[in-house]
Amino acid sequence: MTDTPGIAAARRPVPLSRRRVDWVLLAFFAVNLCFITYFVDIEQLTVANAAHFQYPLWPPPAIVNLVHAYGRHYDPLLMARPAFWRMTIWIDVLWNGPFYVAAIYALARGRDWIRVPALIWSGSMSAVVLVILAEEYSGVHRAPHFGFVLLLNLPWLVLPAGTIARMAREHPFTEPALAPGRLPRQRPGRAGGNMSRPAFALTYGPWALVAGGSEGLGGAFAEELARRGVSLVLVARRPEPLAQTAARLRATWPVEVVTVAADLAAAGAIGQVADAAAGLPVGLVVMNAAHAPAGPFLAAGEPDIAAAVHLNCGAAALLAHQFLPAMVERGKGGVIFMSSLAGLQGVPNLAVYGASKAFLISLAEALWAETRAAGVDVLACCAGAVITPGYQQAASRPAPGSLSPAQVAATALDALGHGFRVVPGRLNRVNTFVLEHLLPKRAAISVFGRATAAALNSPGGQA
């Protein structure tokens, strides 16, 4: 997707001083260019036989001696120099070297054209390093101290992965220009957040609507928003927990709370919510309400399937459609769709739920592109297992990567304005990268099918 001229004109460069990841990539590319590619690699090409040779004109003898000493003690592959190894060296000299020059310039000057070459470099570098490590681990030229060799090669696996993540954005070096009335992003000013409480309330307040906001993850969103000074419209099906949550928030924080007891999957519910919020400047909508029918698709009842589609998909789209126009007019605001890791691929025994969460990811990406030039931030939060009360009842112990509702809510709110998707939790982000970029789709579906756990069957949990 490319920006229209109007949207392109509404973007501004992000200075290099704020692009910390780019400093790491610049240093890495410079080391490769100035040492690996045109010193170490040239030695590998100019010295065909490491046992009988004369020192070449380039590289200097000290580099030749360094390479040979390392090869003799740690990596016989550098000394043997088989045909496949020399082929990787030629790739490095003829393709990677010029790429490093272009990448250093593009990162320093903020040029979007480097995205495609960077993605090609990342894929080719990862493939070459994996082949080399396989030979050093179990091939003819296996390394006597493989652990040390692996440690030295880790940057050539980690940095390509980081480059893929960095270049996944359509415009990695620019950001939307400030719309009228829009507050500038603030640098981190407190632990766990990217914006001070007053600035957050001014940008995404003074009111927020939380669908499914009576308990569990929705309750955590309500608590965190109230802590940030934002008044609340809470929507949930059951009036008793809704009233209890509202009373607690009013007693704890200096905010107003309006409650709406409504089933968002029912006809007329969106109108009921709109009437309750009429006249309130709602600057943030959190669509957390969801229905998760678990079990084989063919065993599911029609009411369960219809409820999941109407609530997870229809109500989310209609709520966004109801409140986004006023945000765009004000030039600020945000929408968070609570999606799931289950939306990144099909999940056996959670077919409709996973499909509905995939809908939210796609919807968030499209609305992010449509509204960001107006100063409105749209985000899909793809949570893993969340330790809600329902999850604790269903699961004997937390799954790896499980997070508390408060952690997920804070992560999602802090991610507003920093892209169209966030995955809370480091382990979940690593798993997501592996499932999306390293595993074939068939394998990812199989992994999720086998890993369908109690959290997926919990009506209050996120998967």
Instruction: Show which residues are catalytic.
Output: 353
Helix-then-strand count for the chain, H and E: 22, 9
Residue spans of alpha helices (H) in 342-425: 351-371, 389-394, 405-415
Answer whether 288's CB lies under 8 Å from 212's CB: yes
Which residues are CB-neighbours of 259 under 8 A, at least 6 positions away?
A: 233, 234, 235, 236, 239, 242, 243, 246
Residue 160 host element (H or E): helix 155-166
* Cα 414 versus chain centre, distance: 13
Q: What does 68-127 look like in DSSP terms, one character per residue?
A: HHHHHHT-HHHHH--HHHHHHHHHIIIIIHHHHHHHHHHHHHT-GGGHHHHHHHHHHHHH
d(CA 351, CA 448): 11
Answer whether 153's CB lies under 8 Å from 125's CB: no
Q: What does 416-455 look like in DSSP terms, one character per residue?
A: TTS-SEE--SHHHHHHHHIIIIIS-HHHHHHHHHHT--HH
DSSP designation for 39? I
Which residues are CB-neighbours of 48 under 8 A, at least 6 positions away?
A: 81
